[in-house]
Amino acid sequence: MQRRWVAYLCVALAAVGWIGLGYFTYNNPPTGGNRWIAVAALWPTVLFTILPPIVWLHQRLGDGDGAMARPLRQSALAALYLSICVWLRMVRALNWANASLLLILFVLTDVLLVSRSSG
């Protein structure tokens, strides 16, 4: 029951975030300060967008201990990865090598956190 409310809340917050981000980017020029605000608003928006599918995936794959820490951590890392990639793209520094290295870094971070918590 708790996961259902989390899913409803995340869908509502994601919708508010995407509408707000769209409104902000449509009405403001892409200057330096506005870019930082857009990237900062992108992180929670992506977090709340990705969290319900990750919670469902953990529930489906049998991680049924009821803890929300692992899906929340994975969603936060994925949202941070996408936000950093967007920021790197804004400054025209994103390439396949940077994206791959960042992805490896975030996957290793999650693997090390899981191994630390389980051992």
pLDDT at res. 61? 85
SS3 91: coil
Domain definitions of the chain by residue range: 2-118
Q: Quickly state the pLDDT bin for 79 (edges 50, 70, 90).
A: very high
Lookup: tokens for 22: 């769209």
pLDDT at 3 over 90: no
Amino acid letter, residue 68: M
CB 55 within 8 A of CB 6: yes
User: CA of 116: how far to CAs of 3, 23, 49, 112, in Å?
Assistant: 25, 42, 27, 6
Distance between CA 57 and CA 42 in Å, rounded?
A: 23
Mean pLDDT along residues 102-108: 96
Per the CB < 8 A criterion, the answer to whether 106 and 77 are in contact is yes
User: 2 or 99: whose pLDDT is higher?
Assistant: 99
Q: Could you tell me if 45 and 78 are in contact, meaning their C-beta atoms sit under 8 angstroms apart?
A: no
Q: What is the pTM of this model?
A: 0.88
pLDDT, greater one: 79 or 58: 79
Q: What is the rounded average pLDDT of the residues 45-55?
A: 94
**What's the pLDDT at 12?**
95
